[in-house]
Amino acid sequence: MSAPAARSRAHHGRVNAPDHGLFGELFGRGPAGPSDQDWLQALLDTEAALARAAERAGLAPAGAGAAVTAVARADRFDAAELGRRAVLIGNPVSALVRALNDLVPADAREAVHRGATSQDIIDTAAMLLARRGIDAIDADLRAAAEHTAELARAHARTVMAGRTLLQQAVPVTFGLVAVGWLTAIDDARRELDRVRATRLAVQFGGAAGTLASLGTRGPEVAALLAEELGLPEPVLPWHTDRLRIVQLAAALAGACAALGMIARNVTLLAQTEVAEVAEGGDAPGQGGSSAMPHKRNPVVAVLILGCTRRAPGLLATLTAAAEQEHQRAAGAWHAEWETLSELLRVTGSAASWSVPLLAGLRVDAARMRANLDAAGGLLLAEHVTAVLAPALGRLAAHDLVAAAAARAAARGVSLSEALLADAATAARLRGAGVGEADLAAAVDPAGYLGATAEFVRRALAEHDRIADGT
């Protein structure tokens, strides 16, 4: 890569720390969400790369690409003024090109914006910002996955109540819960990686997708532009084919779905009446309330949810905007810019918050066991039915255990007590050869975990394979 191209690559990071304002520290955590300055620099990086490409193709004087690259720095431009002038054509590119022309030597101006239309510059800038955003999101997801894998290994045998429809179901382990989180994160990372590698592409089609102003040299310049920016060159311009944007948005929303699921589980398990997990963190006042001094709210999980709940609406907007007219959309394309920025921002923030959430999550194994035991063995009703089925038949065993479970719940006794306290039921148990020791074994949560250990092993092995890059 040329020295100017290398210098341009250096601009791809965040050029200025944004003014986060009142809510930015909550919902703009991490570097994935582009600021106005980031957008401006990405637009300038695209223009500079195009100037270098034009020079390499022999369509601009020697040194023109370097001259444009030298001044293509966001701190040399007034973003607010460019925004005010953007209303004249509906986007800021024309104003930017004029300002850029004013800064470069006269003999280099021929290289500025050569053959391009505004959409080429904005779409390519969006791809640069998406690439940078995905890299930042993936770094946080990778760290979150490692912390989740540690939780799974530490609690592979920590028995807890499984819950379906928010009610206690059959026993699981917290290790199984954690690998469920882990595989969701790993799957989200895989999809983001696929999109980054195959769906981010340079945009260069000129006024109506023909590159007519470059004659027969258009495809050559497009290929050089892609090389300068390190983006794939598509088969043809994609001005109104927005599937790339939809797939990018879907991958970001998928990451939000995975992180939102984890955060929601944490809020449920951290409820006072459940208290099986708690957030870490010892910052003074963390998790506090403005009105209730006793509160210890799962604030990090809440902030993740505050981000992830926005993703479906943003995805819907970008999907709706994908229906575009002819060779240039009237409004739908314009709807993408801020929407995609916001989706990158909230996904990046959720991923960033997930790292401290999972790194500091406190698991109360004793409380998990106590909540299991509080059910009095009712969670093992399915197991008891399976034990009795060979002697009584499955339906008869089901009805017998269902009746005993109802008595146990009504009287506040355990399932074993309810089975043995009823003379007719006790007689049927004796006839089936099921004694008190058998019944005690049947209601032991640790004895009814099925393939849990194998699922945990497989999930961790797959995660390790992904982490090793194999």
The C-alpha atoms of residue 401 and residue 380 are separated, in whole angstroms, by: 10
Closest C-alpha among 73, 127, 129 to residue 99? 73
Domain annotation covers residue 23: yes
Q: Are residues 296 and 405 in the same domain?
A: no
Task: Supply 9's token pair.
Answer: 């690559």
90: DSSP letter: T
Domain annotation covers residue 452: no
Percent of the chain at pLDDT above 70? 92
CB proximity list for 385: less than 8 A, separation 6 or greater:
394, 397, 398, 401
CB proximity list for 71: less than 8 A, separation 6 or greater:
100, 103, 104
pLDDT at 235 over 50: yes
Q: Are residues 140 and 250 in the same domain?
A: yes
Domain annotation covers residue 405: yes
Q: Are residues 333 and 274 in the same domain?
A: yes
433 backbone φψ class: left, alpha, beta (φ>0; ψ -120 to 50) = left
Do the beta carbons of residue 372 and residue 379 sit within 8 Å? yes
Q: Are residues 189 and 213 in the same domain?
A: no
Amino acid identity, residue 194? R
- Please list the alpha-helical segments (H only) found in 12-117: 24-27, 36-56, 64-71, 79-86, 93-103
The domain boundary residue, chosen from 314, 330, 365: 365
Boundaries of domain holding 84: 1-116+207-234
Backbone angles phi, psi at 32, to 5 degrees: -75, -35
Closest C-alpha among 103, 115, 97, 95 to residue 76? 103
Q: Are residues 110 and 259 in the same domain?
A: no
Domain annotation covers residue 242: yes
The C-alpha atoms of residue 248 and residue 385 are separated, in whole angstroms, by: 48
Say which range, 130-144, 173-187, 332-346, 377-391, has the weakest mean pLDDT.
Answer: 377-391
pLDDT at 291 over 70: no
Judging by beta carbons within 10 Å of its beta carbon (0-12, 13-18, 19+), is residue 135 exposed, middle or buried?
middle
**How distant is the alpha carbon of residue 158 from its chain centre?**
28
Percent of the chain at pLDDT above 90? 84
Domain annotation covers residue 332: yes
The domain boundary residue, chosen from 323, 339, 365: 365
The predicted pLDDT at position 9 comes to 43
pLDDT band at 19 (very low <50, low <70, confident <90, very high): low
217: DSSP letter: G
Q: Are residues 253 and 105 in the same domain?
A: no
Q: Catalytic residue positions?
A: 289, 328
The predicted pLDDT at position 8 comes to 44
Task: Supply 177's token pair.
Answer: 């819960």
Q: Are residues 243 and 230 in the same domain?
A: no
Report the mean per-residue pLDDT for the chain. Answer: 92
pLDDT band at 431 (very low <50, low <70, confident <90, very high): confident
The C-alpha atoms of residue 307 and residue 83 are separated, in whole angstroms, by: 27
The predicted pLDDT at position 131 comes to 98
Q: Which residue has the higher pLDDT, 231 or 287?
A: 231
Count CB neighbours of 30 within 10 A. 20
Do the beta carbons of residue 211 and residue 115 sit within 8 Å? yes
Domain annotation covers residue 461: no
Domain annotation covers residue 125: no
**What's the average model confidence in pLDDT over 99-112?**
96
Q: Are residues 304 and 167 in the same domain?
A: yes
Domain annotation covers residue 454: no
Tell me how far CA of residue 79 lies from CA of 86, 184, 193, 225, 339, in angstroms: 10, 39, 32, 25, 19
**What's the average model confidence in pLDDT over 392-399?**
93
Give the domain CATH number at 67. Answer: 1.10.275.10
Task: Supply 117's token pair.
Answer: 């239309």
The predicted pLDDT at position 284 comes to 53
pLDDT at 202 over 80: yes
The predicted pLDDT at position 295 comes to 59
Q: Are residues 137 and 73 in the same domain?
A: no
**Domain count along the chain:** 3
Do the beta carbons of residue 375 and residue 168 sit within 8 Å? yes
Longest Cα–Cα distance in the chain: 103
Count CB neighbours of 80 within 10 A. 9
The domain boundary residue, chosen from 365, 387, 411: 365
pLDDT band at 12 (very low <50, low <70, confident <90, very high): very low
Query: Tokens 């943003």 identify what position?
Result: 314
**What's the average model confidence in pLDDT over 187-207?**
98
The C-alpha atoms of residue 120 and residue 113 are separated, in whole angstroms, by: 10
Q: Are residues 358 and 223 in the same domain?
A: no
pLDDT at 141 over 70: yes
Q: Are residues 311 and 400 in the same domain?
A: no
Q: Are residues 318 and 408 in the same domain?
A: no
Count CB neighbours of 141 within 10 A. 25
**What's the average model confidence in pLDDT over 110-115?**
97
The C-alpha atoms of residue 268 and residue 238 are separated, in whole angstroms, by: 44
pLDDT band at 468 (very low <50, low <70, confident <90, very high): confident
Q: Which residue has the higher pLDDT, 8 or 369?
A: 369
Give the domain CATH number at 352. Answer: 1.20.200.10
